[in-house]
Structure 1
Amino acid sequence: MEKFIEAIRNSESLSYAFWLSVFLLLLVSLLKYFVSKESEKSDWGNLVLEFPIDVCLVVITIVITGFMKGENMPLGIILVIVTLVVSIFCCIFRRCSMSYSYMDGKLTKTLLFGLLDVALAVVWVGLVYSKIC
């Protein structure tokens, strides 16, 4: 935990860049969903379903800008490609979850695909974060 806190305090570290980017993403996402109109119950679900995809984009940006140098280039390319693939699966799970949410009696499938979206992104981002930070 001390290592994590120290990395976040260092404004030149990838951890700092990652967490600052995620915080700003969350702030802008909240603004997008809740400032321009009166929020509805479905807005919270959409936010939860879209956030993992957006965090994968943050990971790609961090890998490209801060990690893909010299000897890390081959691993960086692999991380970017796999993150793109993970993002594609998250998009598919998001779409399935949203589609089932409009159908009566499909709550289980809605939750399952939503959980798959979030879980896949959390696991992948955690793995990449532990590798690069």
Structure 2
Amino acid sequence: MTDRPLKDEVLDELGDDRLNDIAGLLHADTDAARHVVSGSVASLTGVLTDDSLTPGGTAELCQAIAQAAVEPEPRSGTDTVGSELVGAVLGKAAEPAARAVAKKQGLPVEAVAGALEIILPVTATVLARRARA
């Protein structure tokens, strides 16, 4: 497990090209895109934490992380079942996260939702990698 903040790992994994793509979707600069990524990661994990308090929520998240933990590191650019399960769990958090980040950043929900389409699979990959570590 790493001591680095999840948002930093997600930003590193996104790289400059995808960060620029997010900035384009937001009609903003890369600094604003970084803030949206950071806010999205925080919001996604907050929604997951809230969902884990509901019956079955914890089991679903634990199952996804456990599956990701037993799979080998995927080849670059490919997903495994574990990262797909983590992505599916994160996907459930996407809409409330998009609304929260859009409100906080003063951006259209649709733009943030578009950015989340890029951020979600990267976050799932990072979480799956952490689970394997």
TM-score range, shorter chain: 0.3 to 0.5
In proportion to residue count, which structure has more helix? Answer: 1
Structure number with the bigger relative contact order (C-alpha 8 A, sep ≥ 6) is 2
Larger Rg: 1
Relative to the length of structure 1, the TM-score reads 0.35
Relative to the length of structure 2, the TM-score reads 0.35
